[in-house]
Structure 1
Amino acid sequence: MDRIHLFEWEDQEWFPELFRDFITDHLAFYMGRAYRAVVPQLAEAMKSTEQTSIVDLCSGGGGPIPALLPAIAQEAGRPVSATLTDLYPNASAVERINVQVDGAVRYRAESTNAMNCPESLRGFRTIFTGFHHFRPESAKRILADAVRRKAPIAVFEAQERSLWRILTVPILLLLGSLIFTPFVGRLTFKRFFFTYVIPLAPFFIAFDGVVSCFRTYTPKELEQLTEGLDRDSYRWETGRYWTSDLLIGPYRITYLIGTPVAESGAA
């Protein structure tokens, strides 16, 4: 099945914040569970590059990092902090996360372009369920920016381009949005109305979920995106593996990890 970059509501600049936040809040809720399996892999990559901070790109409603950070720190054997970023920051998530007392995770309120990260944002870059939003030329620019700044980067996708996921993802998202909306994000009258009275919000997240499957890169396609980048000073690894969750069921995680080669190793 070829990759098809179809229309997604969330990508549109004019898409109402009400519905964008609904989508990103729900995704953050699910991703905290979906990406537990990557903790050892990410922690090992951070240890090998001596990184103690994460710069999460395309964070939306917060993504999985707030839920995973304690486990990452425990696995890495050291304190780890994280900065969340997004092109369209979720205002309620920014407020909710930035009032936390410990300050291990903060959400940058300013718009952040993953293809051109500010110099001040330094750390191990991560993208969870966000890389498929970018066409190949833009996706390659994200990787090139990491290489230019000598920043390690890890991309993870919990959906895939297969008939099985295309059929199951919309069902899971529709049911999940109806069941979990009272417990996810801020339940306003508008959110309640457009979930249960006129269910536009569940439609939007289910529609985008299907399209996300069509857009997701395979490990081979991810490897092709690294062609032309500095392979002498960077080590790239791609792959896919099975995992499972009680709510989500069995699924596969696709990943791309790029780390700078140490000076002694490059000699």
Structure 2
Amino acid sequence: MRLRLRLFEFEDLPWFPAVIRAGMMDYLRFMISALGTYRPIVPLLAEGLARTGQTRVLELGAGAGGGTETVLAALRAHGQPAATILLTDLYPQPTAWADIAQRTEGAITFEPTSVNALAVPTYLTGFRTLFSAFHHFPPEAATAMLRNAVQANTGIGVFEGAGKHWLELLLAWTVLPVAQLLLTPFFRPFRLSRLVFTYLAPLIPLCTIWDGTVSVLRMYPIEELMALARTADPESRFAWQAGKKRHWWGPEVTYLIGWPMSNEQ
């Protein structure tokens, strides 16, 4: 699917209720972690760390931290035993992140203040990543994010947990909503508000269906990802690659990754 529509997502709206956003993020975290969505790109990320001599992953737009523990474990199994992850977001979720930090004994930590992925503070170092969020940024902002990494001379990888297919839209309308209704009582940490806005006033599942549909439609195809990278890096200081990696159970992950050629180890 090459179509890319610039529709809105509820979670992007400043006025969107935080309690609904948190409920949606809890669902995404659970599903991404349970399905191991980003395992296929771990070798790419491990290569980026090795080539830049870095051990810390600086995760931008971390949301509720879904899949982060899986990525960390897989990184350490792919030749990066000292790997750590620092979670950041424009809308921080320290409660959810503190739970992850505790479970990983500090291997995953977090920045409690708001972090703009387009202008990352210089004191936040590491190989930058963005999972399931690059489609939120229009071309100008997406280019600015990549350019900011180039200017900081640090590697960056953006990963989308889909291959941009019509079948993914069908799943977003059928199987995934049912899974959300069945699994919500098992999400941790427990929140009464999550139950209220899932079953009594089902704003969380309805907004999740809309945002999941729009996410696929807003995703950048591979050709556009490379075009954004070339615009952000006109002097070709970085080695860039974009493509898709297929998960063992079928779905794909779309990616763009780059690192400074001058820093390759």
Please, what TM-score do these two structures have when normalized by structure 1?
0.92
Counterpart Cα distance in 2 of 1:230 and 1:258: 13
Contact 1:126 1:155 in 2 (8 A): yes
Alpha-carbon shift at residue 263 of structure 1 (Å): 6.1
Amino acid of the structure 1 residue aligned with 2:3: D
Whether 1:238 and 2:242 are equivalent positions in the alignment is yes
Counterpart Cα distance in 2 of 1:225 and 1:128: 17
Contact 1:60 1:90 in 2 (8 A): yes
Whether 1:261 and 2:264 are equivalent positions in the alignment is no
* Mapping for residues 70-149 of structure 1, pairs under 5 Å: 70-100=73-103, 102-149=105-152
Alpha-carbon shift at residue 231 of structure 1 (Å): 4.1
Aligned residue pairs total 261
Q: In structure 2, the residue corresponding to 1:93 is in which secondary structure?
A: helix
Counterpart Cα distance in 1 of 2:177 and 2:191: 19
Instruction: Name 1:21's counterpart in structure 2.
Output: 22
Any stretches of 5+ residues in structure 2 without a counterpart?
A: none
Alpha-carbon shift at residue 219 of structure 1 (Å): 0.6
Cα 1:110/1:220, change in 2 over 3 Å? same
Counterpart Cα distance in 1 of 2:263 and 2:88: 30
Contact 1:155 1:256 in 2 (8 A): yes
Q: Which moved more, 1:231-240 or 1:211-220?
A: 231-240
Counterpart Cα distance in 1 of 2:38 and 2:152: 26
Alpha-carbon shift at residue 77 of structure 1 (Å): 3.9
Percent identity among equivalent residues? 36
Match of 1:152 among 139, 151, 155: 155
Instruction: Name 2:181's counterpart in structure 1.
Output: 178
Whether 1:205 and 2:179 are equivalent positions in the alignment is no
Cα 1:97/1:222, change in 2 over 3 Å? same
Alpha-carbon shift at residue 200 of structure 1 (Å): 1.5
Cα 1:215/1:178, change in 2 over 3 Å? same
Contact 2:149 2:155 in 1 (8 A): yes
Deviations 1:94-128 (A, max 9, x none): 33234447211112111110000011111111111
Contact 2:89 2:116 in 1 (8 A): yes
Deviations 1:22-77 (A, max 9, x none): 11111122222111122222112211221100000110001322222022022124
Contact 1:97 1:107 in 2 (8 A): no
Any stretches of 5+ residues in structure 1 without a counterpart?
A: none
Contact 1:29 1:184 in 2 (8 A): yes
Counterpart Cα distance in 2 of 1:76 and 1:264: 16
Contact 1:64 1:128 in 2 (8 A): no
Counterpart Cα distance in 2 of 1:140 and 1:134: 9
Contact 2:40 2:245 in 1 (8 A): no
Counterpart Cα distance in 2 of 1:34 and 1:88: 23
Contact 2:51 2:264 in 1 (8 A): no
Alpha-carbon shift at residue 204 of structure 1 (Å): 0.9
Amino acid of the structure 1 residue aligned with 2:134: F
CA RMSD of aligned residues (A): 1.8
Counterpart Cα distance in 2 of 1:30 and 1:124: 25
Q: Which moved more, 1:175-184 or 1:3-12?
A: 175-184
Cα 1:87/1:9, change in 2 over 3 Å? same
Question: Where has structure 1 moved over 4 Å in runs of 4 or more?
Answer: none
Counterpart Cα distance in 2 of 1:56 and 1:15: 23
Deviations 1:196-255 (A, max 9, x none): 22222111111100000000111101001012314432111011132244xxxx211111
Alpha-carbon shift at residue 264 of structure 1 (Å): 8.5
Q: Which moved more, 1:207-216 or 1:221-230?
A: 221-230
